[in-house]
Amino acid sequence: MTNLYKRYGPVEILKDINLEIKSGEFVVFVGPSGCGKSTLLRCISGLETISAGTLEIDGRVVNDVAPSKRGIAMVFQSYALYPHMNVFDNMAYSLKLQNLPKEEIRKKVEAAAEKLQLTPYLQRLPKALSGGQRQRVAIGRAIVRDPRVFLFDEPLSNLDAALRVQMRMEIAQLKDQLPNTTMIYVTHDQVEAMTMADRIVVLKDGVVQQVGTPMELYEHPQSLFVAGFIGSPKMNFLSGKYAEKFKAHTVGVRSEHIDIAPKDGVWSGKVVYSENLGADSYIYVDIGTEEPIVVRQAGKSTYRSGDQLSFSPRGELYHRFDASGRPRLH
Ligand code: ADP
Ligand code: MG
């Protein structure tokens, strides 16, 4: 897509989006709620018209091509299945509308069910399925249509945490089973983006902030926004006198890139709180900045509230930003 804009009346929702997605690629659009992710996906699907720019699929301009003629299938967050139809009929529905021969429909549905481990459930009604199985049926409905491009809009956000992790793996496996299908996946969850994407597109206020592989974004964020958005816990930011030593307006350092020093670290302060997560611990340290600095320690925390703690970034594993929030190079 080139110079793509979307306006609702006078309000610009998407601003000058330029993006090339390769065939077979798994791209994730990520950004805070309201930044325009769903709108961009709907523009690609044709459910929304674009206000300006060019949208091409497979080298063909599709600005004015009807949604059904774009070779695209979409899976939504709310995957309304037909409650009175069994799994087979739910998946076969769109193919029946196309008047395909019965035998061909059966083959396509069975092949999709096989890919999604739904074969034992084909005769069941949706109410007799778990949340994850229902979500797989929704994906199956899209797969049977053999789309060239698969669009997902936050398909996992209605599932509980454990199921989300499982479905994340299943969608990643689906990607391997359909290597020629391009997939565009929208989420506000940066962990989903990091774990599933070949490339991530970070959006904010309808503007693309950065495009790159998960590790490129993690290691080389090109703005304070991306630095703070990608990674968990959030990157620590230190400004003013706390950043002086680094000749930067703001220095950012991730909790996992901090070494605790016996006493003469770059920064020091009082532990306000420590969280034990099992494999590691997060220690919150008040050094005088607006928010406490989060330091990660492997295993159980050996520090308690009130303890004095001194620490430094590990080696060169910190990020320098100028006053405009861009990386400082010199
Ligand atoms: P996201 O999916 O990233 O949460 P959306 O794409 O749904 O964001 O929405 C982006 C912005 O566009 C929001 O401010 C929303 O209010 C606005 N918006 C979405 N759809 C419409 C519409 N049909 N009319 C007017 N404004 C809309
Ligand atoms: Mg949305």
Least confident of 37-51, 90-104, 167-181: 167-181
* Alpha carbon distance 295, 312 (integer Å): 10
Cβ neighbors of 47 (< 8 A, separation 6 or more) are 67, 74
For ligand 1, atom 27, the nearest C-alpha belongs to 8
Q: 107 CA distance to ligand 1 centroid (A)?
A: 39
Percentage of the chain beyond pLDDT 70 is 100
Count of domains forming the chain: 2
pLDDT at 228: 97
Cβ contact 185:172 at 8 Å: no
Residue 330 located in a structural domain:
no
Mean pLDDT of the chain: 94
Q: Provide the residue type at 36 as one letter.
A: G
Residue 78 has pLDDT above 80, yes or no: no
Residue 326 located in a structural domain:
no
Residue 79 has pLDDT above 80, yes or no: no
Domain co-membership, 12 together with 84: yes
- Across 214-234, average pLDDT: 96
Q: How confident is the model at residue 199 (pLDDT cuts 50, 70, 90)?
A: very high
Least confident of 70-74, 84-88, 208-212, 307-311: 70-74
- Reading the block at residue 305, the tokens are 């509230």
For ligand 1, atom 16, the nearest C-alpha belongs to 34
At residue 324's C-alpha, the angle toward residues 321 and 330, to 5°, is 40
Fill in the DSSP letter of residue 235.
Answer: P
Cα-flanking dihedrals φ and ψ of residue 147, to 5°?
A: -70, 155
For ligand 1, atom 14, the nearest C-alpha belongs to 34
Q: What is the dihedral of CA 160, 161, 167, 168, to 10 degrees?
A: 150
- Reading the block at residue 163, the tokens are 């199921």
Domain co-membership, 93 together with 206: yes
Pocket of ligand 1 (CB under 6 A): 8, 13, 31, 33-39
Structural domain that includes position 91: 2-227
Residue 297 has pLDDT above 80, yes or no: yes
Q: 36 CA distance to ligand 1 centroid (A)?
A: 6
294 to 46, 258, 309: CA distances (angstroms): 44, 9, 12
Domain boundary among 171, 195, 227: 227
Domain boundary among 171, 196, 227: 227
Residue 283 located in a structural domain:
yes
Strands 308-313 and 258-261 come out as antiparallel
Q: Provide the residue type at 324 as one letter.
A: S
Domain boundary among 207, 227, 247: 227
pLDDT at 161: 87
Dihedral of alpha carbons 134, 139, 143, 145, sign: positive
The tens digit of pLDDT for each residue in 242-277 reads 999 999 999 999 999 999 998 899 999 999 999 999
Domain co-membership, 37 together with 152: yes
Residue in 75, 13, 23, 21 with CA at minimum distance from that of residue 50:
13
- Across 105-123, average pLDDT: 95
pLDDT at 330: 66
